[in-house]
Structure 1
Amino acid sequence: MDSVEDCCVVDSVEDCCVVDGVGDCCVVDSIEYCCVIDSAEFCCAVNTVDDCWVMDSVKICCVVDSVEDCCVVDGVGDCCVVDGVEDCCVVNSEEHCCVVDSVEDCCVVNSEEHCCVVDSVEDCCVVVREEDCCVVNSLGNAV
């Protein structure tokens, strides 16, 4: 299989993708498709059909609300959860998640998403010069 692609059949038509330099295929709901991860073609599924998102010029997959989507954590495609579904927020120009009202969510400090603890759950507060938080009681007063 050096220079010859190993093909599979998609909708009665032969179609190919390459994984690790060798023609290969993946199947999602009887539909085969490919995307690229780390310079090698790979497969992922979005809305029951293989599809990919591009992160740092590299296609990669993760799952959001039962479909695959991507976010970036530490420069690598990764996912986090917001409102019960996987999603992303940004910390220091990198996508990151925190917990607000028992679900992961984001807040902003100095134009950057950041989290802190309010009423025993992670919430947000704005700090002018430093990314820092205070504990606020049920009356909204700092304690």
Structure 2
Amino acid sequence: MDSVKICCVVDSVEDCCVVDGVGDCCVVDGVEDCSVVDSVEYCCVVNCVEDCCEVDSGEDYYVVDSVEDCCVVDSGEDYYVVDSVEDYYVVDSVEDCCVVDCVEDWCVVDSVEDCCVMDTAQNCCVMDSVEDCCVVDSQEDCCVMGQCGGMLCGG
């Protein structure tokens, strides 16, 4: 689509370098230090709140429809894919992502396979795999586990 812009995984919004191709994405400390890389893994759909990027969906792409759907990048390895500005994801790497519905929903994971889809912030587990996910009633009831078996884990 003509409106497609490919942005960079950067340390701050001000460091974003916009390039022309899907494979041309920059990881920069500053705009002046922009270097072109080949991997789409470095791409994030954010320039700034006023200028969101829209890219094709896929493993390394994140689609936004409006300025309200903007991603905010905290570091070169972290990204946030959102449906609205109220939605956010806490992740450890580009490969890590959780799907949630609102700002109260969050999940800290080690890999995309560890993602837990939930309704509220109180229903979150740090886990080894999605099969081990334990939905609990409060954050205090959440624990790191290898197997959950449907039980509540006391904090």
Q: Which structure has the larger Rg?
A: 1
TM-score range, shorter chain: 0.3 to 0.5
Structure with more helix by fraction: 2
Q: Which has the higher strand share?
A: 1
TM-score normalised according to structure 2 size: 0.36
TM-score (norm 1): 0.38
